[in-house]
Each structure stands twice: as C-alpha cells, then as structure tokens.
C-alpha cells in the first residue's frame, strides 16, 4: 500500500464513527435512486409480461383498472360481476377461447380463483405434485400458496368465512387439496384454484343437503303439499363435499345467469382480436373488453411520473448531502492543521499531504458506492419479496 | 395519489415474473384421437364412425348403470385427458355436472334435439333458505331408444370426430352413413312391431323406455321393478291393480328377471321380454347386436301373442 493511502486508511479507521456516517450517507444517496430504478424496472417488466400474456379481458362495464388488476394479479377489489352468459357469448362468436374467472374469495390470505382447466393450460401451469381438480370441492394450490400454508395433496383447506355474523350467509367450505403447481413466478403461485362450480358453492349458489323425501329429513320439513316440500332452517346443508354427499350438491336455475368476475378471451389471431373488440362497442353494450397491456401501460405511466418526482427529490437531498460531506472534509482539514504542519515539518511534501487527504475522500466515496452497488444487487434479488411481505403483513 | 399507491403495491406484487410458457400440447397417447364416453351407445357410435384411428374409452364398470355411476376422481382425471368427451345430455350421467372437465372437449350429443326431450313426471319441488322454491325435475335420458334420435346423436359424434380429424371427413361420412342405415333398419323393425301391437296395453319394468314409447306411440305404463330383485307382496298387489286398468300381456324388462318372477308373471298372463336399453358394455357382441336381439325377442313375443 502506498504511503498516502496507508495514512488515509489509518486515519479513517481511527475515526471510524465519522467514517461510518460519511460512508452511510454516500451509500444512501447512491442507492436510493439506483435501487428505486431497479425495483420499478423489474416490477414493470413483470407486470407487462403478465399483461402481454393475456390478450383480452371481458367484464362488466366499470373500472378497467380494477378489472385488469383483479384478473391478472388477483389483487384489489373484485370487479363488478358479469355472468356465465358472457362465456357462452364469446364461445359462440368463434373468435376466441373464453376462460372464465371467479374472484373475491380467500383461503387465509390466498386468493381463491374459480376457473376452468383451460386457464391452467393457457398459463402453462404444470402440476408438480398430485393432480388437477377433478370433482366438486377439490382445489389445486399454487407453489407459493402450498409453501405458505404448509399443505400438499391429501390435506384440506377451509375457505375464509365471508359473513361471520350472517346466519343465512355464505359459510366456509372445506376443500380437498389434490395437487400443487410447479412455481411459475407469477401471481398464479399465490392462488388456490378451484373449479367454477366449486366457486359458486363457496358463494352459496350451489349446495348439498339432505334428501327432503327421505324419512330422516322429516324434522326439517315445514310443509308438504303434493309434490311441493318446504324445509325449515334445520335442514342439514353440507360444508364439505365428500364422495358420500357429492351427489346431493346441485345448482338451481339457469347457469348462464351465474356470476363470474371476468373472462380471459384468447383470440387465435389479430384479426379475430379486432373483430371481437368491435362486437363490444355498441352504445348499449353492458360489457367492456380491454387490452390488459394498454391498461397496465397507463398505470405504469403514472408510476414512472411519480418515480421521476421521487428521483428529483432524492437528487436534491443528494446534492445537500454531498455539500455537507464536502464541508465535513474541509472542516476536518482545518481541524487537522497541526497534524498537517507536523507532517510537513518531518519532511512530507505538500503534494504528499494533499494525496493523503484526497485518498481519504476517495476511499469514503468508493466504500459508499460499493455498498450502494451491493444493496442495489440485493434489492434486485430480494427487494420485491421484502416489499410484498411487508405489504401483506 | 390512490392510483399511484395502488400501482406501487402492485409493482411489488408483480415482481419476479418470468416469461409465460406456452400451453402444453394435448396428450395424444399413441397418436390416435382419444374419445371418452358416458355410455355404451355413444362408445359404439364413436367406434363405428371413428374406426381404428380413434381410441374410444368408456370406463364405467359393466355391473353399474352408467346413468347413475359416479366415477372416482382418478377416473375423472382420465376423462380430462380426452380430446373428445361424448355426453349423452338430457341429464344423463349427472356426475358430469359435478366434475371438472375441459369445456372444449365436451360434446352434448343430444343438444341438437333439446326440444324433443321428454320430461320426467313426479319431480318434487322444495323450498329452503333464501334461495326460494326449486325443483329437481329432469328429463328422460335413454334417448337412443328412439333410433331417429340415435341417428342425430351419431351425427353429433361424427361432427365431433371430424372437427378433430378433418382429413378423414369422407371416411367418417361413409362410416356414419353405414351406422345410420343400421339404426334406421332397427327403427323400421320397431315400427312394424308397434303396428302389430296396435295400441294394445304394454308394461315396462322401469321408467326408462320413454323415448321408445313416444316414438312408436306405445300404450305403456311403467313399474319400478328391478330384474335382480324379487318383487314383494306390495309390488304384486300394485301390479294387479295396474293390470285391472291396463290389461297388458307383455312386460319389457331391462335384463333377464329372476325365474320365480317370470313364472309368477306368466301365471298372471304376462309374458316377460328382455329389452336391454344397452347403456352398459355388453358381455358379448356390441351395442347394435344387443338392440337387434331386443327387437328379435319382441318380434318373437308378438308372434306368440298372435
């Protein structure tokens, strides 16, 4: 190690408190804009990749942003419900494959996504253990959901109650876990997938109960008039679907009127996409069709605008911090006047002394920059998970 | 501001995504079209029309009525792998409504004649909770017992296979034509038998012959007798009451009745004739041979009646 560098390092080590504060300040002013840029860039890539992979979304007229966010990332409030008739309508056009989504229910903090097998194929979700859901009451866990819940095939999972104090409301359903998906590194990892019909049972639209014509159900019968039976509240309704009671589960009315949250429409080509969008442009149309990429781009434009304000603020703070650091070095040099004079008296050249002082500044700057680079690297690797954990908790 | 906060939260949630992988190709197995069905008639139609290029599977055990069968989840998972799943429709195989099956593969073979489906009488309407009044009423589902409806179902099967194998269109059309000819021959023979019956009363052991009755205008009533069970005293009393109003000489059974039942029926002047609906996999022969045997038994019983 050369003389000036050796003396500078000894000085910085001796005054470790001052050195730590200076290095810390430099680290922060370098890391904040760099880390923010990395996080925003990385997250924006992830958001747009998901949006790009979803050609069109169809849902009830209302907030396009809510529809896109709920359907793509299973976050936020579920959009205004539409009906299964839209799935049939899209299918009938022959212009797109229609994949329904039913959102809004949760199992602990994980979203329960009601859909069809087509969704798993469309997203390329592969079963890592067990199998796909096959009958009512079965569920398939995303990789992160399985890890967080500590569940696997053969275990059971209870949906979170939606109406704790509503005695006539929707009760939790005990679901059988039949499979776990391989990690996809998308919001699908956090989801609990069920069949649409299981989702409707969660919503209380399908149910299983005692056979009202069976002798054992007589206590639940209020009135029997010809082929008409009226039951009271003691009628046993099942909150778990088992092979024994599965046959009693049923749905009433026309399924085309049953609620869904959105439909992912997958047209085979650009022409079909354009034609399909045209079908939803009538003035009296009750549904909206949107390109998720367009919605997410608008959202990201807002994010980048906010980011530029934040970066400008950080730059101002950085300028102030650098000025303060410069002042610290100047004052430090003045306070060290006797030390510098001693160095000159024992034969050190002025340039040597200047070298020592410059080495101190350079070492502090380099240490701060190196630490900022390390933190930025960590942010790119773990930052999103850390923020996600913070927000969830 | 709310929009920005929401965006920031979502940016965090959206992190870590990789490129979306492509959807996996359908499991073609040995390269043949994989077709699953819910009963034997549809399996037979698919085999006749599709030939060797189609792998037809009907996994219900032969000792179980496929209409009431509920496959275990593992079997449903096997159905999920099919390229085509042939449903009978008309409420047949209620398990389908409780199963997760690929909508793209499902084909309702009776959808083309929904207006000709026959309602089941005597359904119970009930009411409980806020959902209001509802009924579990259904439709009669042994549609293929009307050969003209069977022809329409066969056409739906052909269309479903042709959609997957368009290059075989002419071969499939020829196979369908041959099958239609066989079905229409059955129809002609049954129509002739109905002419011989000439409106005379007839009994069915079970209410599964609605489409046969409707197609040929049969003057028939249904009992609720099982061929493998000995009718109890109440059942015999009810039969006598029915015969007093509806003096039938023939009773059509889904399967061979117990010998003691057959003998006692003969003492009442009722001849037992097996008319197997053919919904299960036959021990020998195929569905068409089962139906032809039905017609032969009916023809021979009518000859004896003369």
**Which residues in chain B have their CB less than 8 angstroms from residue A197's CB?**
97-98, 100
Spatial separation of the C-alpha atoms in residues B231 and A180, rounded to whole Å: 51
Of A59, A83, A86, the closest CA to residue A71 belongs to A59
**Which residues in chain A have their CB less than 8 angstroms from residue B70's CB?**
243, 246-247
**Which residues in chain B have their CB less than 8 angstroms from residue A46's CB?**
14-17
Q: Do domains B33-114+138-170 and B181-305 have the same CATH topology?
A: yes
CB contact under 8 A, A132 and B9: no
Chain B contacts in chain A segment 81-120 (CB below 8 A): 91, 97, 116-118
User: How would DSSP label each residue in A206-264?
Assistant: EEEB--TTSGGGGGGEEEEETTEEEE-TTS-B-SB--TTTGGGEEE-S-GGGSEESEEE
CB contact under 8 A, A197 and B133: no
Q: H or E stretch including A346?
A: none
Buried b / exposed e along A159-174 (16+ C-beta atoms within 10 A): beebeeeeeeebbbbe
What does CATH list as the number for B181-305? 3.40.50.1980
Model confidence at A393, pLDDT cuts 50, 70, 90, reads: very low
Options 3.40.50.2300, 3.40.50.300, 3.40.50.1980, 3.50.50.60; CATH of B33-114+138-170: 3.40.50.1980
Neighbours of B74 (CB within 10 A): 9
Q: Do the beta carbons of residue B75 and residue B59 sit within 8 Å? A: yes
Spatial separation of the C-alpha atoms in residues A12 and A246, rounded to whole Å: 75
**Which residues in chain B have their CB less than 8 angstroms from residue A135's CB?**
73, 76, 98-100
Spatial separation of the C-alpha atoms in residues B119 and B138, rounded to whole Å: 6
B59 in contact with chain A, both atoms CB, cutoff 8 A: no
Phi, psi of B204 (to 5 degrees): -115, 140
**Distance between first and last Cα of chain B:** 92
Residue of chain B whose alpha carbon sits nearest to that of A197: B98
**pLDDT digits over A236-291, tens only?**
667 788 878 877 787 877 888 999 999 999 999 999 999 999 998 888 899 999 99
**Which residues in chain A have their CB less than 8 angstroms from residue B104's CB?**
97, 118
Q: Where are the domains of chain B?
A: 33-114+138-170, 181-305
Spatial separation of the C-alpha atoms in residues B265 and B272, rounded to whole Å: 7
pLDDT at position B132 over 60: no
Of A57-61, A129-133, A135-139, B132-136, which gets the smallest average pLDDT? B132-136
Confidence at residue A182, expressed as pLDDT on a 0 to 100 scale: 97
Please state the rounded mean pLDDT for residues A21-37. Answer: 86
Our CA-based measurement puts residue B13 at a distance from the nearest CA of chain A, in whole angstroms, of 6
User: How would DSSP label each residue in A67-78?
Assistant: HHHHHHH--SSP
Spatial separation of the C-alpha atoms in residues B96 and B107, rounded to whole Å: 12
B21 in contact with chain A, both atoms CB, cutoff 8 A: yes
Whole-number mean pLDDT of chain B? 87
Whole-number mean pLDDT of chain A? 86
Name the region of A253 (left: φ>0; alpha: ψ -120 to 50; beta: rest): left
pLDDT at position A325 over 90: no
B2 in contact with chain A, both atoms CB, cutoff 8 A: no
CB contact under 8 A, A122 and B23: yes
**When comparing pLDDT for A307 and B218, which is higher?**
B218
Confidence at residue B14, expressed as pLDDT on a 0 to 100 scale: 43
Confidence at residue B137, expressed as pLDDT on a 0 to 100 scale: 58
pTM, two decimals, is: 0.77
Chain A contacts in chain B segment 89-128 (CB below 8 A): 94, 97-104, 122-128
Confidence at residue A41, expressed as pLDDT on a 0 to 100 scale: 80
Spatial separation of the C-alpha atoms in residues B215 and A336, rounded to whole Å: 113
For residue A39, what are the CA distances in angstroms to A28, A42, A378, B8?
Answer: 15, 5, 10, 10
pLDDT at position A37 over 90: no
**pLDDT digits over A210-250, tens only?**
666 666 666 666 666 665 666 666 666 677 888 788 777 87
Spatial separation of the C-alpha atoms in residues B84 and B181, rounded to whole Å: 25
**pLDDT digits over A160-217, tens only?**
876 545 555 567 889 999 999 999 989 999 999 999 999 999 988 877 776 666 666 6
CB contact under 8 A, A168 and B76: no
Neighbours of B25 (CB within 10 A): 7
Of A113-122, A299-308, A334-343, B3-12, which gets the smallest average pLDDT? B3-12
Confidence at residue A384, expressed as pLDDT on a 0 to 100 scale: 64
Chain B contacts in chain A segment 322-381 (CB below 8 A): none
CB contact under 8 A, B4 and A75: no
B70 in contact with chain A, both atoms CB, cutoff 8 A: yes
Q: Where are the domains of chain A?
A: 3-47+299-392, 56-290
DSSP A381: I
Neighbours of B76 (CB within 10 A): 23
**When comparing pLDDT for A30 and B292, which is higher?**
B292
The length of chain A is 393
B13 in contact with chain A, both atoms CB, cutoff 8 A: yes
CB contact under 8 A, A46 and B17: yes
Spatial separation of the C-alpha atoms in residues B264 and B201, rounded to whole Å: 19
Chain B contacts in chain A segment 280-319 (CB below 8 A): 299-300, 302-303, 306
Give the pair of three-digit tokens for residue B115: 């207006």
**pLDDT digits over A89-113, tens only?**
998 999 999 999 999 999 999 999 9
Model confidence at A42, pLDDT cuts 50, 70, 90, reads: confident
Our CA-based measurement puts residue A318 at a distance from the nearest CA of chain B, in whole angstroms, of 23
Range with top average pLDDT, B9-13, B297-301, B302-306: B297-301
CB contact under 8 A, A227 and B15: no
How many interface pairs between A and B have CB atoms less than 8 angstroms apart?
180
Residue of chain B whose alpha carbon sits nearest to that of A40: B11
ipTM: 0.77
Confidence at residue B22, expressed as pLDDT on a 0 to 100 scale: 33
pLDDT at position B130 over 50: no
Spatial separation of the C-alpha atoms in residues A46 and B19, rounded to whole Å: 8
**When comparing pLDDT for A308 and A141, which is higher?**
A141
Confidence at residue A373, expressed as pLDDT on a 0 to 100 scale: 92
Pick from B14, B72, B124: CB nearest A50: B14
**When comparing pLDDT for A97 and A391, which is higher?**
A97
**pLDDT digits over B34-68, tens only?**
999 999 999 999 999 999 999 999 999 998 999 98
pLDDT at position B180 over 90: yes
Chain B contacts in chain A segment 31-50 (CB below 8 A): 39-40, 42-47, 49-50
Question: Who contacts B31 (Cβ-Cβ below 8 Å, separation ≥6)?
Answer: none
Pick from B12, B76, B134: CB nearest A387: B12
Contacts by residues B64-70 (CB-CB < 8 Å, ≥ 24 positions apart): B64/B280, B65/B279, B65/B280, B66/B38, B66/B39, B66/B40, B66/B93, B66/B279, B66/B280, B67/B39, B67/B92, B67/B93, B67/B141, B67/B142, B67/B279, B69/B93, B69/B95, B70/A243, B70/A246, B70/A247, B70/B95, B70/B98
Interface test with B, best of A70, A88, A135 (most B CBs within 10 A): A135
pLDDT at position A358 over 80: yes
H-assigned helices in B165-269: 169-197, 210-216, 233-245, 259-267
B25 in contact with chain A, both atoms CB, cutoff 8 A: no
Strand B219-222 relative to strand A228-231: parallel, antiparallel, unpaired?
A: unpaired
Please state the rounded mean pLDDT for residues A64-91. Answer: 92
Confidence at residue B272, expressed as pLDDT on a 0 to 100 scale: 96
**pLDDT digits over B231-277, tens only?**
999 999 999 999 999 999 999 999 999 999 999 999 999 999 999 99
Q: Do the beta carbons of residue A212 and residue A164 sit within 8 Å? A: no
Pick from A39, A124, A207: CB nearest B21: A124
pLDDT at position B28 over 60: no
Model confidence at A374, pLDDT cuts 50, 70, 90, reads: very high
Spatial separation of the C-alpha atoms in residues A358 and A350, rounded to whole Å: 12
Please state the rounded mean pLDDT for residues A53-68. Answer: 94
Our CA-based measurement puts residue B225 at a distance from the nearest CA of chain A, in whole angstroms, of 20
């Amino acid at each position: 190690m050369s003389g000036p560098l050796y003396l500078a390092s000894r000085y910085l080590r001796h005054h470790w408190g001052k050195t730590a504060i200076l290095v810390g300040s430099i680290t922060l002013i370098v890391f904040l804009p760099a880390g923010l840029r990395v996080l925003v860039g990385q997250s924006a890539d992830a958001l747009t990749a998901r949006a790009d992979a979803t050609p069109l979304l169809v849902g009830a007229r209302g907030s396009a942003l809510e529809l896109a966010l709920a359907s793509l990332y299973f976050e936020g409030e579920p959009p205004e419900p539409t009906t299964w008739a839209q799935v049939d309508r899209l299918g009938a056009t022959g212009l797109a494959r229609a994949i329904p989504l039913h959102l809004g229910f949760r199992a602990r903090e994980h979203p329960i996504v009601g859909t069809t097998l087509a969704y798993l194929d469309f997203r390329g979700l592969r079963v890592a253990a067990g199998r796909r859901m096959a009958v009512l009451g079965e569920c398939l866990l995303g990789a992160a959901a399985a890890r967080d819940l500590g569940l696997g095939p053969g275990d059971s999972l209870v949906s979170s109650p939606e109406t704790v104090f509503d005695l006539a409301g929707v009760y939790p359903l005990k679901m059988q876990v039949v499979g776990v998906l391989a990690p996809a590194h998308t919001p699908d990892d956090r989801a609990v997938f069920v069949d649409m019909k299981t989702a409707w049972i969660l919503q209380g639209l399908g149910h299983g109960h005692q056979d009202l014509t069976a002798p054992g159900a007589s206590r639940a019968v209020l009135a029997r008039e010809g082929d008409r039976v009226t039951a009271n509240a003691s009628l046993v309704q099942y909150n778990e679907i088992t092979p024994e009671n599965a046959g009693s589960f049923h749905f009433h009315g026309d399924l085309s009127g049953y609620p869904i949250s959105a439909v992912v429409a997958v047209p085979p080509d650009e022409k079909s996409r354009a034609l399909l969008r045209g079908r939803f442009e009538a003035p009296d149309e009750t549904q909206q069709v949107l390109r998720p990429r367009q919605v997410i781009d608008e959202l990201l434009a807002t994010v980048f605008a906010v980011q530029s304000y934040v970066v400008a603020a950080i730059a101002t703070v950085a300028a102030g911090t650098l000025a303060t650091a410069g002042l610290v070095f100047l004052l430090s040099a003045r306070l060290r006047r006797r030390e510098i004079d001693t160095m000159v008296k024992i034969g050190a050249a002025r340039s040597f002394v200047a070298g020592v002082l410059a080495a101190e500044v350079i070492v502090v700057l380099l240490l701060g920059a190196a630490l900022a680079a390390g933190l930025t690297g960590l942010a790119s690797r773990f930052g999103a998970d850390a923020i996600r954990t913070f927000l969830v908790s | 501001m709310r929009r920005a906060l929401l965006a920031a939260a979502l940016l965090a949630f959206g992190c870590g995504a990789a490129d979306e992988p492509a959807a996996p190709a359908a499991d073609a197995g040995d390269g043949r079209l994989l077709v699953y069905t819910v009963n034997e008639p549809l399996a037979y139609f698919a085999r006749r029309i599709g030939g060797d290029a189609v792998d037809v599977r009907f996994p219900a055990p032969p000792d179980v009525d496929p209409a009431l069968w509920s496959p275990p989840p593992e079997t449903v998972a096997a159905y999920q792998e099919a390229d085509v799943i042939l449903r009978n429709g008309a409420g047949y195989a209620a398990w389908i409504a409780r199963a997760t099956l690929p909508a793209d593969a499902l084909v309702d073979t009776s959808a083309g004649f929904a207006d000709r489906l026959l309602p089941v009488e005597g359904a119970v309407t009930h009411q409980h909770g806020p959902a209001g009044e509802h009924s579990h009423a259904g439709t009669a589902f042994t549609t293929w017992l009307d050969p003209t409806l069977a022809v329409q179902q066969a056409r739906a099967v052909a269309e479903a296979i042709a959609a997957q194998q368009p290059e075989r269109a002419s071969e499939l059309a020829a196979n369908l034509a041959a099958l239609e000819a066989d079905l229409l021959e059955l129809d002609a023979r049954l129509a002739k038998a109905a002419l011989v019956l000439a409106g005379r009363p007839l009994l069915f052991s079970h209410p599964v012959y609605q489409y046969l009755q409707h197609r040929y205008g049969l003057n028939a009533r249904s009992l609720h007798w099982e061929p493998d069970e000995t009718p109890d005293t109440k059942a015999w009393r009810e039969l006598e009451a029915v015969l007093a109003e509806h003096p039938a000489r023939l009773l059509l059974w889904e399967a061979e009745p117990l010998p003691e039942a057959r003998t006692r029926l003969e003492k009442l002047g009722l001849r037992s004739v097996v008319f197997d609906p053919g919904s299960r996999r036959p021990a020998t022969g195929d569905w068409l041979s089962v139906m032809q045997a039905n017609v032969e038994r009916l023809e021979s019983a009518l000859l004896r009646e003369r």
